[in-house]
Chain A
Amino acid sequence: ILNVEQSPQSLHVQEGDSTNFTCSFPSSNFYALHWYRWETAKSPEALFVMTLNGDEKKKGQISATLNTKEGYSYLYIKGSQPEDSATYLCATNSGYALNFGKGTSLLVTP
């Protein structure tokens, strides 16, 4: 994998459903993995930064895991709510800069 890749590209779930997304990245020269939540017309909001293989982070009903050896991270949302509708971005560090994936667009309908 040369770039940061995210799947699926978009997702439509019902309120209360749990869901997860995948972020794949080059495992060589890994430094840190970032997850952001981006609502339309707002600033991207930082969710998690993870650096160590096996890291797990949780914020409310959202959690993330990291596997640096195989180059992937999962983001989980338990019991999705309409207000969780947003684009979820992951990024890795290249020096100071962040290399972003294209994001997963989540729509949660009541």
Chain B
Amino acid sequence: ETGVTQTPRHLVMGMTNKKSLKCEQHLGHNAMYWYKQSAKKPLELMFVYNFKEQTENNSVPSRFSPECPNSSHLFLHLHTLQPEDSALYLCASSQGTAGDTQYFGPGTRLTVL
């Protein structure tokens, strides 16, 4: 266990659905991240939050909407997704300084029909 949990672990949704992914960290960290891994591609950063403020948005389409209500929780709201958005979505946290070790959750496997 890394101290980072994600729910749900698997999600199947239609293109017109709205769903949310949840991440919670129990490590007392200040920074949280969303990464995406598509088939045969490396892990790719989506968003970074530091002290609840978004510090990076890696040109992610607006159909992905992050929310960070506090330093322990991170959400990714999904709406009108496309089949090509099917991927593994990983959450991570770190103490909050560049170069810190990032601790990952197990990911949510998303399938968009």
Contact = CB atoms under 8 A, between A and B. Distances in A.
Q: Do A and B bind each other?
A: yes
Contacts, number: 64
B90 A98 contact: no
B99 A102 contact: no
A18 interface: no
Contacts of B103: 43, 46
B43 interface: yes
Contact of A98 (B40, B50, B102, B105): B102
B13 to A, nearest CB: 21
Interface stretch (A59-67, A74-82, A89-97): A89-97
A89 B101 CA distance: 13
Given A43-B2, A46-B103, 11 more contacts: A4-B42, A32-B99, A36-B104, A43-B104, A43-B106, A45-B2, A46-B102, A49-B101, A91-B43, A98-B45, A99-B42
Interface of A: 4, 31-32, 34, 36, 41-46, 49, 51, 89, 91, 93, 95-103
